[in-house]
Amino acid sequence: MISYSGIGTYLQNLLPFITKEFKTILLGNKKEIEYYSIRPFKIININSRIYSICEHIELPLKIRRTDIYWSPHYVLPLINIRSNVIVSTVHDINHVIFTKGIKRLYSKIMISNALRKSEKIITVSNFSKGEMIKYFNVSEKKIVTIYNGIDRKLFQCSKNDQFLQKIKKKYKLPERFILYVGSVKPHKNLYRAVLAFMRLVKDYNDLYFIIIGKSDELITSDKRVLDMIHNDNRIKNRVILQGIIEKNILPYFYKLSDLLLFPSLYEGFGLPPLEAMACGTPVVASKLSSIPEVCGDAAYYVDPYSEEDIADGCHNVLSDNVLKSNLIKKGLQRVMKFDWWKSAEKHMKLFKSLLNE
């Protein structure tokens, strides 16, 4: 999952530290791992797709006796792994809350399996910790909260106006736009966000809404959002599906935007608000799940179930320069609390403590 958003970012930022400290064997696609300049002791090529039956057979067959097996996702092989200690990271239990049928059943079985087999469970927020205790009755002592970090060097993008203009010209960006970064899955709440935006444009005839992230290619994409954007001319002309952009270009989209809108109904952590804050961009965010825990007082919070409240929140930030300036100031202070090195250090401290038991 190293190339995924979310978990991929987690892996890309933690593994360089962990592979220097431990004799690390990575399981995955060799070319993908090497693309991120990660140099483990060894790479074992895995051919199975994530969420497939095959991975539950292939992984145990290829894993030799090891001191610690760390799964950075809740899918732990059902067949026992030859490891002295097992640690799993469960970022959230979104699939148990928001999916139905076979997907929900699969998620429940896999998370239960990970919680049962793992000596310790790492999660990325106290909110996610509470959700696991609530829905799976797992012992609080078994769960360790370690916050994600933010690559402040990457997201302190250049303030060079000439370069920003080049980016704007290359990607044909409008003068004013609201930005969303993430997938187009139903729990991300983009359907209400687009409807809220269409309320806004009555007062802002030069404003656009740009969506960065995977959309059409995801099986779990919110089809209502995509149908609305593709088929409604009024919306199609104002909402831009930008798709995936290069990692080093993303900071400039944040910098050029008027604000980041993060209307999610459910997040284990939520990196985009912190990325926006690091770039000096104000954030309008959902008041639900882990988002207030992560953003603190540095975001303008709205009710994500109310299109009117989302629209009003965006309007208030767009129209009030004092409010906007305060959010930017608080955001730059907030991101100082999150660092990938701190996160990696806590992971490594946990691994060492388990090795010494």
- pLDDT tops 90 at residue 357: no
Residue 71 confidence (pLDDT)? 96
Average pLDDT over residues 120-142: 97
Residue 110 lies in a domain: yes
Note whether 127 and 160 are same-domain residues.
no
List the one residue out of 258, 262, 271, 129 whose CA is nearest residue 206: 258
Give the model's pLDDT for residue 159: 65
Q: What is the pLDDT of residues 31-43, one digit of tens each?
A: 889 898 898 999 9
- Quote the CA–CA distance of 96 and 91 in Å, as a whole number: 12
Any idea which of 112-116, 226-230, 308-312, 340-344 has the lowest mean pLDDT? Answer: 226-230
In CATH, what number is assigned to the domain containing residue 331? 3.40.50.2000
H helices present in 187-306, as ranges: 190-200, 223-231, 233-236, 250-256, 272-278, 291-295
**148-187 pLDDT per residue, tens:** 999 988 898 666 778 888 999 999 999 999 999 998 888 9
- Are 74 and 196 members of one domain? no
Q: What pLDDT shows up at residue 326?
A: 98
Q: Within this chain, do residues 214 and 348 fall inside the same structural domain, yes or no?
A: no
- Residue 102 and residue 156 in one domain: no
Q: Whole-angstrom Cα distance, residue 276 to residue 251? A: 8
Residues 111, 178 within the same domain: no
Q: pLDDT exceeding 90 applies to what percent of the chain?
A: 77
> What global pTM score does this model have?
0.93
CB 257 within 8 A of CB 175: no
**Does residue 313 register a pLDDT over 70?**
yes
Question: In this structure, are 127 and 243 located in the same domain?
Answer: no
Range of the domain at 104: 7-149+340-355
Task: Give the three-state DSSP class for 228.
Answer: helix
Instruction: Say if residue 214's pLDDT is above 90.
Output: no
Q: What is the pLDDT of residues 236-288, one digit of tens each?
A: 889 999 988 988 899 999 999 999 999 999 999 999 999 999 999 999 999 99
Q: Are residues 70 and 202 in the same domain?
A: no
For residue 215, the model assigns a pLDDT of 66
Q: Residue 90 pLDDT more than 90?
A: yes
